[in-house]
Structure formats: C-alpha cells, structure tokens
Amino acid sequence: MLKTLKAYGFLFLIGGGVLLADQTAKAWIEAHIPFARQTTPFAALPWLHITNWHNSGMAFGLGQAWGPVLLALGVVYALGVLLAFPAIARSGWWLRWGMAIQWGGALGNLLDRLRHGYVTDFIAVGRFPVFNLADAAISLSVAFLLLGELFADDEPAPETPPHAPDAETSPAPEETPHA
C-alpha cells in the first residue's frame, strides 16, 4: 500500500509539474500573443520564435479532422497510465520518469482539447513544426524510455515480495522420520 501511494505521489509530482508548466505557458501565450502572430523574443536566437497557433490535430499538424478521436485516445491513455503506474513504478528509474513526464504532457494536451477543441502550440524553432511544452515533454519521455531499454541491465532487479520467498535462500523443510 505504501509503495502504491509513493508511486502515485511521484506520478502526481512529476506529471503535475509538467502539466502546470505547460498550462501556465499556454495561458500566458493566449493572454499576450494574438493568434497567428509570431515574435522573436531573443535577438541572439533569431531561429527561436514564440507564436500562438491552434492545432486540432496531432504532431506536425497531422490528423486535423481527428479531434474527437484524439480526445478519446487521450482520455484512455491518461486513465491507463493512472491505473498501471504502481506497476510501472516498480519497473525501473527510466521507465518511471519517462511515463510520469509523458503522462503530464499528455494531460496538458488533453486539457486543451477538452477546454478548446484544439491544442495551443507556441514554440517555433527554425522550420520545425510549432509545438508546446507538453509536446516537448512527450518527446523527452520517449528518450527516457529508449535509454531505459539501453540501460535496463544496469538497474537493480525489482525486490522479491516478502510473501514469496526466494527458493535459493529459503530453508529446506525439515525431514520427519518415518516410523
């Protein structure tokens, strides 16, 4: 029970932090930058632009007509991670962090879809499609998951539950003499 509470605490702390950062940034963008307007906030970084763009599709603007499907998939994904996270948290450091970051990003975009019917994108880097902090978190989480696969053998094995003794360390049952 305590491990489950710790797992959810971790998920809510990390995922909630991603969600809070994403929603705060989007609220600021919506309040201060008119739709479709672009600005270059740092003269030293002429390739970095801040904009206000509405995306009813998914990454790279694909699936613009799939809004309801994307909304339903987002709800299923968010609930699935929520239900599975205690088991995920026992799977290792990389997976735990990756899934918590991804969950926060998914919730950020899901909340936009629920409130507006679209996702607010605002970071434009060179010719790369416009994205937001939730998208960046989801991309970062994929890197965590891939690194987790690379370094999976370096992580300690999950603990054996106390109710399932290990065969190598369990004492042999005492033999009783047959009369």
Catalytic residues: 121, 135
Looking at beta carbons, which pairs linking 55-60 to residues 24 or more positions away fall under 8 Å?
55/118, 55/119, 55/120, 55/121, 55/130, 56/117, 56/118, 56/119, 59/129, 59/131, 59/135, 60/129
How far separated are the first and last CA of the chain, in Å rounded?
47
